[in-house]
């Protein structure tokens, strides 16, 4: 199904922090994600230049989100899990042109007053 209403957010963090990122994302409207185990590689000179510590074990959290919440989610992830934090996370988004299998969010029905 063609779409221009979704983006995928990738959050790459030190191992053990992906669930924390997911908690932050849920607070901002994300309904779920997929965690992949990964291993980071970087030139040691570049690491020294950017002032980062190398941690080989990483986790990648992928979340398909509606475009209207993308910026809010990215900002929250960066604020809570960014490079200045223990998670040493980076996050970015890419456009999604086709989706299959997503169930649209159902608006919550208001309960009638008794």
Going residue by residue through the chain (114 aa), what tens digit of pLDDT does each one get? 787 889 999 999 999 999 999 999 999 999 999 999 998 776 677 666 666 556 678 999 999 999 999 999 999 999 988 877 888 888 999 999 988 877 666 655 665 665
pLDDT at 108: 54
- The residues, any chain, with a CB within 8 Å of residue 31's CB and separated by 6 or more, are 105
Q: What is the CATH number of domain 6-95?
A: 3.30.70.120
CA distances from 69 to 40, 58, 64 (A): 28, 25, 11
pLDDT at 32: 94
Output the DSSP codes for 2-68.
B-SSEEEEEEEEETT-HHHHHHHHHTTT----EEEEEE----HHHHHHHT-----EEEEEEEEEEHH
Domain definitions of the chain by residue range: 6-95
pLDDT at 113: 65
């Amino acid at each position: 199904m063609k779409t221009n209403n979704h983006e995928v957010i990738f959050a790459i963090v030190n191992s053990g922090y992906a669930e924390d990122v997911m908690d932050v994302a849920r607070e901002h409207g994300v309904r779920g994600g997929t965690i992949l185990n990964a291993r980071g590689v970087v030139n040691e000179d570049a690491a020294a230049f950017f002032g980062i510590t190398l941690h080989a074990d990483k986790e990648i959290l992928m979340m398909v989100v509606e475009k209207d919440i993308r910026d809010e989610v990215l900002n929250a992830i960066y604020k809570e899990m960014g490079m200045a934090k223990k998670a040493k996370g980076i996050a970015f988004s890419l456009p999604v042109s086709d989706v299959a299998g997503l169930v649209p969010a159902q608006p919550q029905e208001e309960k009638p007053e008794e």
